[in-house]
């Protein structure tokens, strides 16, 4: 597949790296010479200097025979125009754009991206995607990571095995025997910073992070089995009143009438605007790194602090300070890759990476075959994937043990006619099954091939 990516920032480079490593023909465009040089230095892609919204630049990048254009520059307008030109001039079949300004996505302007409007097949709004991830984390305080699959029926949760974890030293195979009515599967384990697929003989150790695939209505029970019985927060402080902070606060007001929210925003004009927009949220103007202001927000009585400013260092330090002042839990936004592996060591309970969230969402549309959802974990080392089996896909028919899978590929759950069950080696997939599985990044192509559709199907 030939793919053009407009934008060589963190998201663009992340997508280019994944697609190039899987053998795709990738071109990446950026107007910044240093970013183009970096792409040339670190990736096996064609890097083009220029504006991705200019037809001549797109042509130099190979738009005449491209299969897909992914526009993820920092400018929404460049992304939208690039997609329009890709459609009208080069007839590129699939066009994906990142659109950050919420005014473009307002329901009042639904015709903007209609068939007669700007030709974009899939729109990604990082603020909305990240905001929804934050809301899921708040709903499951015992998990450091969550992802939803099969229309919310199945959830993949990251759970830390602390000193009080009851299942430490228990073989994974025995967990299925102890809880036969719980269709949960441990698919991956992070130990000493390394992610590996979970085998039936593996034993959890104190300090491990486990990735578990479980029905949505069994998540609370699963967390309890791992020793996590944290209650959902009723007093929340949000540090940062940008698009993400406002989205989260507004959603909490609409959905959780018994939750009290306080927000800290450093820009006075923005703080006033938010205070006029929200109904029940208390908005404080000032620096969230101020101990005095955090005490004024009654941080010691708060159950969760959510740090979602545009500054990674401020988010991390605010989260640490809040915990020191008595806040029970903290969750912070981390954009850069350099901090991802050290955040937990600071005592911060969970983190959200806008880059990984956006890349995962875009990969959902890029994956070939019947891939329905993608969630990257452990900084891209693996993916949890939802795929649909059809009559002519190779995965249908033989038992799972006969599929000759690579050792790292694990089946986590199967959704069949609305029922969820844990697969075994004897399980035979049927057409229309939804499969949630774990795959290391180097085995993604193998998973795609399992769910490829024969032309005869059409």
CA distance 413 to 152: 13
β-pairing, 145-149 vs 122-124, is unpaired
Q: What is the model's pTM?
A: 0.84
Residue 364: per-residue pLDDT: 83
Radius of gyration of the chain (CA): 23
Are 134 and 352 within 8 A, CB to CB? yes
CA distances to 235, 259, 297, 305, 410 from 302, rounded to whole Å, are 5, 11, 9, 7, 39
Cα-Cα-Cα-Cα torsion 130, 14, 207, 351, nearest 10 degrees, comes to -20
Among 435, 409, 413, CA closest to 423:
413
* Among 250, 264, 251, CA closest to 315: 264
Query: Residues 6 or more apart from 278 whose CB is under 8 A from it?
Result: 246, 249, 250, 253, 263
* Strands lying side by side in the sheet with 371-377: 371-377, 382-388, 434-440, 410-416, 419-421
Per-residue pLDDT of the chain (458 residues; tens, 9 = 90+): 899 999 999 899 989 998 888 888 999 999 999 999 999 999 999 999 999 999 999 999 999 999 999 999 999 999 999 999 999 999 999 999 999 888 888 888 878 887 778 989 999 998 899 999 999 999 888 899 999 999 999 999 999 998 889 999 999 989 888 998 999 999 999 998 899 999 988 999 999 999 999 999 999 999 999 999 888 899 999 999 999 999 999 999 999 889 999 999 999 999 999 999 999 999 999 999 999 999 999 999 999 999 999 999 999 999 999 999 999 999 999 987 777 777 878 889 888 988 888 888 888 888 765 788 899 998 888 999 999 998 888 889 899 999 888 889 999 999 999 899 999 999 999 999 999 999 998 898 888 888 876 544 43
DSSP state of 329: E
Q: Could you identify the residue written with the tokens 């068939």?
A: 115
**Which of these, 339, 345, 300, lies nearest to 321 by C-alpha position?**
300
């Amino acid at each position: 597949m030939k793919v053009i990516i407009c934008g060589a920032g963190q998201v663009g480079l992340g997508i280019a790296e994944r697609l190039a490593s899987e053998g795709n023909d990738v071109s990446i465009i950026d107007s910044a010479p240093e970013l183009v040089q970096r792409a040339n230095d670190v990736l096996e892609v064609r890097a083009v200097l220029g504006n991705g919204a200019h037809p001549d630049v797109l042509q130099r990048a190979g738009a005449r025979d491209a299969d897909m254009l992914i526009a993820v520059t920092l400018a929404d307008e460049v992304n939208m125009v690039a997609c329009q030109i890709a459609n009208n001039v080069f007839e590129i079949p699939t066009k994906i754009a990142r659109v950050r300004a919420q005014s473009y996505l307002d329901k009042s302007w639904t015709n903007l991206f209609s068939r007669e409007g700007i030709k974009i097949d899939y729109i990604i709004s990082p603020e909305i995607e990240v905001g929804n991830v934050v809301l899921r984390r708040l709903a499951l305080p015992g998990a450091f990571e969550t992802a939803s699959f099969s229309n919310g029926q199945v959830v993949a949760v990251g759970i830390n095995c602390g000193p009080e974890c009851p299942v430490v030293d228990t073989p994974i195979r025995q967990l299925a025997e102890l809880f036969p009515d719980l269709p949960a599967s441990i698919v991956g384990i992070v130990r000493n910073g390394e992610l590996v697929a979970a085998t039936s003989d593996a034993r959890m150790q104190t300090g491990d992070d486990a990735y578990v695939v479980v029905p949505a209505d069994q998540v609370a029970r699963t967390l309890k089995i791992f020793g996590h019985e944290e209650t959902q927060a009723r007093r929340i402080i949000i540090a940062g009143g940008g698009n993400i902070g406002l989205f989260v606060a507004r959603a909490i007001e609409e959905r959780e009438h018994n939750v009290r929210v306080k927000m800290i925003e450093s820009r006075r004009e923005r703080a006033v605007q938010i205070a006029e927009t929200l109904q029940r949220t208390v908005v404080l103007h000032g620096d969230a790194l101020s101990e005095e202001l955090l005490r004024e927000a009654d941080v010691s009585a708060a159950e969760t602090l959510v740090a979602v400013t545009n500054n990674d260092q401020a988010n991390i330090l605010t989260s640490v300070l809040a915990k020191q002042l008595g806040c029970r839990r903290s969750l912070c936004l981390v954009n850069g890759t350099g901090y991802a592996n050290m955040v937990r060591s600071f005592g911060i309970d969970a983190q959200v990476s806008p880059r990984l969230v956006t890349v995962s969402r875009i990969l959902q549309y890029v994956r070939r075959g019947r891939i329905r959802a993608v969630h990257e974990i452990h900084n891209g080392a693996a993916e949890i994937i939802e795929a649909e089996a059809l009559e002519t896909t190779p995965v249908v028919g033989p038992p799972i043990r006969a599929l000759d899978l690579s050792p790292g590929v694990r089946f986590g759950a199967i959704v069949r006619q609305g029922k969820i069950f844990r697969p075994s080696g004897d399980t035979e997939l049927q057409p229309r099954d939804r499969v949630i599985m774990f795959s290391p990044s180097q085995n993604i192509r193998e998973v795609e091939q399992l769910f490829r559709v024969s032309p005869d199907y059409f």
